[in-house]
Amino acid sequence: MAMRAAAFTEPGPPDVLTILDVPTPQASPGEVRVRVRAAGVQPYDAAIRAGWTPPYLTEHDWPRIPGNEFAGVTDDGAEVLGFSTLKSYAEYVVVPANQVTPKPAAMPWEVAGGFTAGAQTAHIALEELGITSDDTILIHGAAGAVGTVAVQLAGLAGATVIGTASEANQDYVRSLGAIPVVYGDGLAERVRDHKPTAVLDGAGGVAYDLSLELVEDHSRILTLVEHGRAAEDGVRLTPPNRSDKRLAELATLYAEGKLSFHVRRTYELARAADAHREIETGHGRGKLVLTLE
């Protein structure tokens, strides 16, 4: 039996992503199969499509199906959200049973599909940085999917939060609980007086360089972008610590109204290439999500 997937047969620009018929996966013992209702779109997916192979990815089967977060219904009827390494841009995905958690009834499908990566990445990053109520944390890219959650989680920890974002997203960042700061020329002056003690860098480049200047203890800087520079600068990266327990805790915070999550646009699966074009602009508020019937 075949299923539809947004996949590519060779790396390249967004146009290489097309709808293909591929074999429907079957679950083995200890696994669950999920009929996907929504799947998040990330810069990670675009990098995979463009030809990057992360060091922990050993699968080389083709065609390759991107996507490492999803929400849907298991074969036995349970509504779940979860994570994978690849293969979520498809009608069905199979993962180990400990990579899904129940979807809160009040969480819309499009939110559930895009929630996992941003929420878990933010949670892991703040855990690595050891953020407490004594901290003032600077979050670069505060309006993005990871930044949105990180601002709120840092606030729940009692920290003071400074969030950089575009002019258009200043009110949004403020609504999340951060002190908003416009990025661009003069950023150092706008941030320095706040005396940040830690940084979550979701922008890279100039923002990363500035972080090195502002925080003397580079172990209290974590970058989501500058993977090639982090080790030599003593800067942290997010370890692969996603888990069903962590995801369940975050989903509960959403269900309790303690955590909001913004989906800025949804695309049908057939428009996955358009979603990749948008994600590669590096701009915008919240999350992009693919939807399936």
The predicted pLDDT at position 184 comes to 82
**Are 90 and 130 in a shared domain?**
no
Which among 218, 233, 248 is the end of a domain? 233
**Are 132 and 227 in a shared domain?**
yes
Whole-model pTM over 0.85: yes
HSE at residue 179, side-chain half, CA atoms within 13 A, is 13
CATH of the domain at 222: 3.40.50.720
**Are 144 and 182 in a shared domain?**
yes
CA distance 147 to 149: 5
Into how many domains does the chain fold?
A: 2
Domain annotation covers residue 111: no
Which residue range is the domain that position 155 belongs to? 125-233
Domain annotation covers residue 257: no
Domain annotation covers residue 256: no
**Are 12 and 98 in a shared domain?**
yes
Domain annotation covers residue 238: no
**Are 159 and 79 in a shared domain?**
no
**Are 158 and 67 in a shared domain?**
no
Helix axes 43-50, 272-279, angle to 10 degrees: 110
Alpha-carbon separation of residue 116 from 32, 125, 187 (angstroms): 17, 14, 31
Close Cβ partners of 214 (under 8 Å, ≥ 6 residues apart): 138, 188, 191, 192, 196, 199
The predicted pLDDT at position 62 comes to 84
CATH of the domain at 67: 3.90.180.10
pLDDT in tens, the chain (293 residues): 899 999 999 999 999 999 999 999 999 999 999 999 999 999 989 999 999 887 777 666 789 999 999 999 999 999 999 999 899 999 999 999 999 999 999 999 999 999 999 999 999 999 999 999 999 999 999 999 999 999 999 999 999 999 999 999 999 999 999 999 998 888 888 998 899 999 999 999 999 999 999 999 999 999 999 999 999 999 999 999 999 999 999 999 999 999 999 999 999 999 999 999 999 987 789 999 999 97
**Are 61 and 140 in a shared domain?**
no
Helix axes 109-129, 145-156, angle to 10 degrees: 60
CA distance 17 to 190: 41
Domain annotation covers residue 8: yes
Q: Which two tokens stand for residue 247?
A: 């995801």
**Are 94 and 159 in a shared domain?**
no
Q: Which two tokens stand for residue 53?
A: 């192979």
CB 102 within 8 A of CB 162: no
Which among 233, 254, 278 is the end of a domain? 233
